[in-house]
Amino acid sequence: ATLANISQELPTPKQDEIKVRNFIGGQWYEPSSNNFFDNFNPSTGKVLCQIPDSGAADVDLAVKAAKDAFPAWSSLTPHQRAAHIYKLADLVEKNLSTMATFESLDQGKTLTMATNIDISRTAINFRFFADLVIGDLTSVSVTGAYPKAYPGPDGKPAFGQALSYVNRTPVGVAGLISPWNLPLYLLTWKIAPCIATGNTCVCKPSEFTSVTAMMLTKLIKQAGIPDGVVNMVFGLGATAGNALVTHPDVPLVSFTGGTATGKAIASATAPMFKHTSLELGGKNPALIFADSNLDECIPSIARSSFLNQGEICLCNSRIYVQKPIFDEFVSRFKEFVITKVTPGDPFSPASYYGPLVSKPHFEKVQSYVQLAREEGCNVEFCVDRALNTNVLDVSENGALALEGLEGGYFMSPTVITNVSQKSRLVQEEIFGPVVCILPFETEEEGIQLANDIQYGLAATVWSVDQSRLRRVASQIQAGNLWCNCWMVRHLEMPFGGFKASGLGTEGGRYSIDFFTKKQAIYLG
Ligand code: NAD
């Protein structure tokens, strides 16, 4: 690998070419293969940047840098580490508008979403975990002596008294792998607890959204975080990602992404006894009871279906509506979506969502719409050409051609009814602006349909009956339950999926637990 002579400045949107580099031991490197691949602006389909095609040699260099940095970083006090992390949070906020611009250019999300959610939350992630370790890791828990001692061979009680405490220490080098839907937000949800607790890390962001992670490397340097504490290797999952999760000097792996990838990672890391946390896919139900307040429910369900192009693991995509209000719900929901949920240029404040992240994903989402047509479902593209005069064409699979953005990967908000519970449309994660609406009769049937799936990440339940909400919420097999609301997030709450949606729990002290090893020490 050669040391690249690159500027310390953040890129600007006017720059013609962004060449992403690996960040290893505080320096920027080209990949040892010397190969880069193109990544595209999803609004135009034009090349946005070049991503290093890194491999095992680059990962090895990064792991070595992280391992070398570990002794000094882990021996700082939590306060000293937190001071560095607060500086980084301040720098993220200072650069919020540039970073949000790039998150939007690279991912397709609206600038509003990138500004108000992704990059703002990045700064919050760092502050939250820095605060938490100051309050948490300095405490030592002391438990009493074992009440009944066994007699020793001499007949006298032995080992009866001991001061016992938990020695909690960082583990070492963590491999952090993140997806493309909330790029910097999800990556820093891992980096923050990882380094706050004294570990060092090698990160592998998604190959579809690497730009803001590279920008973060510049801020890490500016914040004075010691070289090697955070390293970033860019490239493909099958090569760079796989080299990271199977590296013998990486005892911790935290992964967020698809269920199939999670399975592959679990089978690679299990024989190596690595601590592995997996946050995986979802196909989240909304259960809407006949007594719901539809004035509040419909806007919330439209948001939870289409925010960020439906590309949030917590979005709902199976909407079950109790029979007495099924027709009313469907027609009011479609009307609301047609008038309020406008896909378009992510830089226009009028757009509710932007293009899908990549061409392969755009094609995948359309293939599900094609399937719906083949299965004879009712498919409605909720786009009114009179209201949206920039729409040049709506294809038979819901793709939108927009004036001035003809090469972009835009999809209509798509509502599918008359679909079977057994259909792949209802059982598989589509991860786009496509929802299925199905009827149910009784509470039992609603719960049964919600649970009739391999996934268990999140659900939302709507009713004005509080006791029903409590009863139903606890019977739904999912890690996150929102009742009469959606995506209210308190970072101290546990976050994780049931069934094929994941293994392990993140959030607050659960993240601290994952990134530390606990030793029970008894002082006799
Ligand atoms: P993905 O699984 O394709 O990729 C995720 C990351 O894993 C990328 O960085 C990729 O390069 C890497 N990767 C791929 N193969 C690998 C391998 N063999 N070894 C190591 N790394 C590998 O997922 P995606 O398409 O980027 O993201 C979308 C998925 O993420 C959806 O299924 C979504 O539900 C899920 N997701 C889950 C959560 C959650 O918290 N549960 C949050 C966001 C997204």
Banded model confidence at residue 288, pLDDT cuts 50, 70, 90 = very high
- H/E stretch holding 9 reads none
Both tokens of 416, joined, read 């599918």
One DSSP character per residue, 482-495 reads: EESS-----TTS-B
323-334 average pLDDT score: 98
Q: How far is the CA of 324 from the CAs of 64, 239, 327, 419, 466, in angstroms?
A: 63, 53, 8, 18, 20
What residues flank ligand 1, with Cβ below 6 Å? 177-181, 186, 204, 206-207, 236-238, 241-242, 245, 256-258, 261, 264-265, 279-282, 313, 429, 431, 457, 497, 502
List, as own/partner pairs, every contact residues 219-224 make where C-beta atoms lie below 8 angstroms and the sequence separation is at least 24, other chains included: 219/88, 219/91, 219/92, 219/95, 220/23, 220/88, 221/8, 221/26, 222/8, 222/91, 223/84, 223/85, 223/87, 223/88, 223/91, 224/84, 224/87
Residue among 313, 317, 493 to mutate when testing ligand 1 (max atoms within 8 A of CB): 313
Distance 415 CA to ligand 1 centre (A): 26
- Parallel, antiparallel, or unpaired: how do β-strands 18-19 and 46-52 relate? parallel
Closest Cα partner for 395 from 378, 416, 407, 410?
410
pTM (global) more than 0.80? yes
Question: Quick check: 12 pLDDT over 90?
Answer: no
328-332 average pLDDT score: 98
Banded model confidence at residue 17, pLDDT cuts 50, 70, 90 = low
Distance 498 CA to ligand 1 centre (A): 17
Question: Quick check: 46 pLDDT over 80?
Answer: yes
Q: Which residue has the higher pLDDT, 398 or 162?
A: 398
DSSP-assigned beta bridge partners for residue 482: 460
Torsion angle (degrees, nearest 10) of CA 220, 222, 226, 227:
70
Residue 152: how many other CB atoms lie within 10 Å? 11
What's the confidence (pLDDT) of residue 115?
97
Q: Helix (H, G, I), strand (E, B), or coil: what is residue 350?
A: coil
The ligand 1 atom at the shortest distance from the C-alpha of residue 245 is: 20
One DSSP character per residue, 118-179 reads: IIHHHHHHHHHHHHHHHHHTT---EE---SSPPB-TTSSB-S---EEEEEEEE-SEEEEE--
ipTM, 2 dp: 0.98
Q: Whose CA is nearest to atom 21 of ligand 1?
A: 241
Distance CA 144, CA 165 (A): 9
The pLDDT tens digits of the residues spanning 214-255 come to: 999 999 999 999 999 999 999 999 999 999 999 999 999 999
Q: Is 375 a catalytic residue?
A: no
Residue among 177, 254, 455 to mutate when testing ligand 1 (max atoms within 8 A of CB): 177
What's the confidence (pLDDT) of residue 143?
43
Distance CA 360, CA 363 (A): 5
The ligand 1 atom at the shortest distance from the C-alpha of residue 261 is: 2
Q: Helix (H, G, I), strand (E, B), or coil: what is residue 260?
A: helix
Q: Give the list of residues 6+ apart from residue 68 with CB closer than 8 angstroms, or none.
A: 25, 228
The pLDDT tens digits of the residues spanning 107-154 come to: 999 999 999 999 999 999 999 999 999 876 544 444 444 445 566 777
Q: Whose CA is nearest to atom 22 of ligand 1?
A: 237
End-to-end CA distance of the chain: 53
Residue among 53, 178, 181 to mutate when testing ligand 1 (max atoms within 8 A of CB): 181
